[in-house]
Every structure is written in structure tokens, then in C-alpha cells.
Amino acid sequence: MRSKIALAVGLIAVMAAGAAAFGQVHYDRPGGDYASFTLRSGDPVACAMRCERDARCRAWSFAYPSSESLAECWLKSQVPARVEETGSVSGVRGAGVIEPKDGAVEFSIERMGGDYKTFEIPPDPTGLACKAACDGEARCRAWTYMRPGYSGPAAHCSLKDKVKPPHRRPCCMSGVVR
């Protein structure tokens, strides 16, 4: 009986440690950089994979592109403490990227098509300004926010009168409101 309890406690500890090791959106790990480069894809998964292939890498940080710069990746020779930073994703070697699941916003999702209105919008790492624009129009059923730097220097909001299937794309955040 004791061995079963010890095994269960051990499994819970391993699962908890593994969950904490995943890359996390809206966090940076400042310090410990030994290499940095731009990523044309603008995908934090590419940064995590670059760390995986480099034996010296212990952690990584990624910054989404902006109106002034391309997406950037930093490889780190140590595992610095993480700090909140809305335009970043960071993680440790051996872990993937976990997008937040908050219900109202689908991270790294684009819903292509069904647009009846697209407009420039101030950069908003949460995407909630685009959601608010959709909430304010009875015709709007779904929305997609495209970060700056993916399709030109400005951020864009697309309001949709049809709910289209989600497609994984790091450029965007989407949601369905009706």
C-alpha cells in the first residue's frame, strides 16, 4: 500500500514539474543570452526548436514582431527566472509552447474568411480591443486580431459575420462571440 501511495505522489510531482517546464506566453527570461537572431516565421515554436538543437541552450526567450522590429529569439546558457512581459514567450529546453486558454481569446489562431470589416488598430498583446469591437456590433459573430509585423507594420482587426474554422498561426488571436 505504501509503495502505491509513494508511486502516486511521485507521479503527481513529475506531472507538476513537467507542466511548469513548458514555454509560456506573456513571460520573458531576461539574462543569460549567448545568441540572438530574427525569425522570419514569427513563430515562438521555431525559437524553442532552435534551443532543442543546440547543446549549450538551457532556456530561450522570444519576442513577437512589432511595427519597429522582426520577431526575435534569444538562446540562453542558463535558466533565468521568468518575468511577465506581454509581447514575449519563453521556456526551458525540453519543453514546448503552451498558449493560454482563457475562453474569450484563442491564442495563435486565425479564422480566415467571413470578414465584413478590417481596420488598423493600436497594438494590443491581449487582442481584447478587437474582441470589444466585435462585441459592439450586432452583425459580428467572430473576430481575428493580427499582431503588427506579420502583415505590415500595423496591427489589424477583422470582424466576421461567419464563424470559420480555426487555423494555427502565431500572427493572430481570434474568438467567437455569437
Report strand pairing: 83-92 vs 59-63.
antiparallel
Residue 136 · residue 64 · CB < 8 Å? no
Band (103; pLDDT cuts 50, 70, 90): confident
Provide the pLDDT for residue 20. 38
Q: What is the residue type of 137?
A: E
Residue 29 · residue 61 · CB < 8 Å? yes
Please state which architecture CATH assigns to domain 2-98.
3-Layer(bba) Sandwich (3.50)
Q: What is the pTM of this model?
A: 0.75
**Which are the contacts of 157, defined by CB distance < 8 A and separation ≥ 6?**
118, 119, 120, 121, 129, 130, 133, 143, 144, 145, 146
- Domain span(s) for CATH 3.50.4.10 in the chain: 2-98, 106-176
pLDDT 10s digits, 132-171? 999 999 999 999 999 999 988 999 999 999 999 999 999 9
The correct CATH number of 106-176 out of 3.30.930.10, 1.25.40.10, 3.50.4.10, 3.10.350.10 is 3.50.4.10
Band (119; pLDDT cuts 50, 70, 90): very high
Band (48; pLDDT cuts 50, 70, 90): very high
Provide the pLDDT for residue 12. 31
Provide the pLDDT for residue 172. 95
Provide the pLDDT for residue 66. 87
Which helix (H) or strand (E) is 118 found in, with range?
A: strand 115-121
Provide the pLDDT for residue 102. 67
Q: What angle do CA 67, 70, 71 make, to 5 degrees?
A: 115
pLDDT 10s digits, 59-76? 999 999 988 889 999 999
Region of 149 (left: φ > 0; alpha: ψ -120 to 50; beta: rest) is: left
